[in-house]
Structure 1
Amino acid sequence: MRVIGLAGWSGAGKTTLLAALIPWLNAKGITVSTVKHAHHDFDVDHPGKDSHTHRLAGAGQVLVSSSLRWALMTELRGTPEPALPALLAHLDPVDLVIVEGFKRDAHPKVEVHRAANAKPWLHPEDPAIRAVAADSRPPGCLPHAALDDIPAIGALVLEHAAAWPG
């Protein structure tokens, strides 16, 4: 399994890029999973559903299964958030895992930057950034591609993804 991250400020287009990049990779026969970091309280469950009731009642984990998908929810209940390696260990093997967020971790990353955000570049302060996808020319000499050039970004992702574990 190989891992690469997409790192950038909110509004840079990471999720939009992933939505285009995943089908491009799949068309090349590459299996892909993703890990998304949320900086806020989030919920994948809904009030009124049995699984929600189980979780609120105090279950540490709730697994929901159907003929189309299954999902495992784990309540941390005050324990520390797991580190990225621990989360990756829960995934089934695939060719490539793309991590959205976790921008302070040391896995290799492609910086996603949009000039209209008026946010600073993450590189060169982050040595784990190996390439850039942006709508403007990045400073420095990292390999880069235009934000809308999915084949070029895909090539950067495949070139810079690292074998996992670490």
Structure 2
Amino acid sequence: MNVFGVTGWKNAGKTGLMERLVAEFCGRGLRVSTLKHAHHSFDVDHPGKDSHRHRMAGASQVLLASTERWALMNEHRGAPEPSLAALLAKLDPVDLVLIEGWKRDKHPKVEAWRAETGNPLIAPNDPTILAVASDTALELDRPVFDLDDTAAVADFILAHLEMAR
């Protein structure tokens, strides 16, 4: 499976870059899936709904399905958070999986970086970050792209993964 990550600090532009990359790759005819790491508790369910009631009653998994989509919710119930590899194994085969977050994992990544956040660059100390997408010109030992030049970032990712499109 072809995997590439987008990482960076909060408010660096990760989600916007991810959204644009998904649209860019889909526009090029690729099938794309995404994984997003949340550092906080989140819920896609709503109190009072049947699926929420099932979870609150103790169900380990609840699969919610309609004619438009399905979603599988899995409760850890005290078990450790699954590894990135374990989560990737749950996805259907696609051309490319884009990963947002998971800074410390060893997959190839591009760092989204905005000067205004005041956060340091991660790239100089992380060899898994192969390029930086920035709102400011930077002098680095790896490629630096304009944060808004989605096509150039997409071309870089495809070249690195040796995917023609």
> Same-fold call, TM > 0.5?
yes
Structure 2 portions without partners, runs of 5+: none
Instruction: Name the counterpart of 1:10.
Output: 10
Q: Distance in 2 between matches of 1:161 and 1:102?
A: 19
1:119 aligns to 2:132 (yes or no): no
1:124 aligns to what SS in structure 2? Answer: helix
The total of aligned residue pairs comes to 163
Where does 1:53-64 land on structure 2 (aligned, <5 Å)?
53-64=53-64
Q: Distance in 1 between matches of 2:139 and 2:85?
A: 31
Q: Deviations over 1:59-94 (max 9, x none)?
A: 000000001000000000111000000000000000
Q: Distance in 2 between matches of 1:150 and 1:97?
A: 16
Q: Distance in 1 between matches of 2:143 and 2:42?
A: 35
Where does 1:121-160 land on structure 2 (aligned, <5 Å)?
121-160=121-160
Where does 1:3-152 land on structure 2 (aligned, <5 Å)?
3-152=3-152
One-letter code of the match for 1:134?
S
The alignment yields a C-alpha RMSD, in angstroms, of: 1.3
Q: Distance in 2 between matches of 1:42 and 1:54?
A: 17
Give how far 1:162 is off.
8.2
Tell me the TM-score normalized by structure 2. 0.95
1:132 aligns to what SS in structure 2? Answer: strand
Identity of aligned residues (%): 56
Tell me the TM-score normalized by structure 1. 0.94
Q: Is the 8 A contact 1:2 1:162 kept in 2?
A: no
2:86 aligns to what SS in structure 1? Answer: helix
